Amino acid sequence: MQFTQEHEEIRRNLIKFIDSEINPHVEEWERDGAFPAHALFKKMGDLGFLGINKPTEYGGLGLDYSYQMVMIEALGHINCGGVPMGIGVQTDMGTPALARFGSDELRKEFLAPAIAGEQVVCLGVSEVGAGSDVAGIKTTARKDGDDYVINGGKMWTTNGTQADWMCLLANTGDGPIHQNKSLICVPMKTKGVQIARKLDKLGMRSSDTAQVYLDDVRVPQRYRIGQEGHGFVYQMRQFQEERLWCAFSSLMAFDRHIDETIDYTRQRKAFGQSILDNQVVHFRLAELRTEVELLRSISYRAADLMLQGEDVTMLASMAKLKAGRLAREITDACLQYFGGMGFMNETPISRAYRDSRLASIGGGADEVMLGIISKYMGILPGKRKD
């Protein structure tokens, strides 16, 4: 992956923005259990950060994914996991399908204000009985005249308490489970949409997450993204960008955790020498740094192949799997080397330890990633040709 001056300008400007507009407020937002999405996204939208690879007709910059990749990686400079995740839903999880398959009218109504930061987006896919098993969702959208009438519920909805609209996956037919679903833009103020509760999470404390009920919610059929019955396919493609987001957004954060641990262990003394001088410590940190570079390589390769129009499902799944597992490995090792201070909430590594656990669950659990990889390898039972 070759970066130009324009790539570096995006990286530099976003890091500068993070230092002035995000990191100084992280402690407050963590305590509050949410960051002010509308205020923050409006500032980001004004600077073009929410539509880097979105069409220019709707306010985006129209750049290719390599520029978006640089933006995502720079989000790792934020001193928590919750704020980057909320931004990621806005840019890489809740809007790619709309940008790619939505009608011109629909993109003007929903995509343009999302790119401008005037509206906040959430993604309605997971349900209480259907997390990783997306095909098993129960929410329905039945036709009634020119409308859909939606009934069901969504769980673990990031940005859910603040969102203006939801990119909702629902069953719009009775056919095969991979061909009976559609993606629909649902304004959150529509009658029948109810925020059941704000969820209390282990980590990602600055990100608001909701359980949402939908009771006879009526929206026009023109709010459907693309063709009816193609929602599962659209969402699987949208998942690829979410999984690459997970990998790219972790890289700079991983480097930061290691650097902070090096600084602390260099200063901390035990048994007459710095903790860092113990071979078990500096060898382990060297090993972890190597793992980060390997993740960076596979992630960059996936992005490069995607830019060439190739299917990167297996590589994106590998990158997501590795990012989730490495998140646990790095934060656990670094917290250990912080000793007693690592167990204190005031120490950044303790927050990283809590926040990072989601990476192996959200966007497809590790086990789902392994299943996808096995399928592409031709070794998944029931999928083999032998």
Decide if pLDDT at 338 tops 60. yes
* Statement: the pTM of the whole predicted model exceeds 0.85: yes
- What's the first-to-final CA gap in the chain, in angstroms? 38
Count CB neighbours of 8 within 10 A.
Answer: 11
Spatial separation of the C-alpha atoms in residues 203 and 212, rounded to whole Å: 20
Degrees (nearest 5) of the Cα angle 235, 185, 129? 55
Burial of 50 from C-beta contacts in 10 A (0-12 / 13-18 / 19+): buried
Q: Per-residue pLDDT tens for 96-141?
A: 999 999 999 999 999 999 999 999 999 999 999 888 889 999 999 9
Of the pLDDT bands very low, low, confident and very high (cuts 50, 70, 90), residue 386 is low
Active site residue 242: yes
Determine the residue type at 10: I
Model pLDDT, residue 384:
64
**Among 110, 177, 165, 170, CA closest to 143:** 170
User: Per DSSP, which regions of the chain are E strands?
Assistant: 121-124, 140-144, 147-158, 165-171, 181-187, 193-198, 209-220, 224-225, 269-270, 273-274
Average pLDDT over residues 329-344: 97
Q: Per-residue pLDDT tens for 345-365?
A: 999 999 999 999 999 999 999
Half-sphere exposure (CA, 13 Å, Cβ side) for 305? 15
Average pLDDT over residues 205-216: 98
Q: What is the overall mean pLDDT for the chain? A: 96
Q: Residue 301 to residues 23, 174, 254, 377: CA-CA distances in angstroms?
A: 30, 39, 19, 18
Decide if pLDDT at 368 tops 70. yes
Give percent above pLDDT 70 in the chain: 99
Spatial separation of the C-alpha atoms in residues 193 and 342, rounded to whole Å: 42
Give the DSSP letter string of 151-200.
EEEEEEEETTTT-SEEEEEEE-SSS-TTTSEEEEEEETTSTTEEEEEE--
Find the catalytic residue in 242, 291, 346, 367: 242
| 367 three-class SS | helix
Model pLDDT, residue 374:
97
Q: Per-residue pLDDT tens for 235-273?
A: 999 999 999 999 999 999 999 999 999 999 999 999 999
Spatial separation of the C-alpha atoms in residues 185 and 329, rounded to whole Å: 38
**Among 74, 65, 58, 53, CA closest to 9:** 74
Average pLDDT over residues 308-335: 97
Cα torsion through 47, 52, 54, 56, rounded to 10 = 60
DSSP 227: S
Pairing status of strand 269-270 against strand 273-274: antiparallel
Model pLDDT, residue 385:
56
DSSP 106: H
**Among 14, 17, 2, 4, CA closest to 74:** 14
Pairing status of strand 224-225 against strand 269-270: unpaired
Spatial separation of the C-alpha atoms in residues 386 and 378, rounded to whole Å: 9
- In the chain, which ranges are continuous DSSP H helix? 5-17, 26-32, 37-46, 65-74, 82-88, 96-101, 104-106, 112-116, 231-267, 279-307, 313-338, 348-356, 366-377
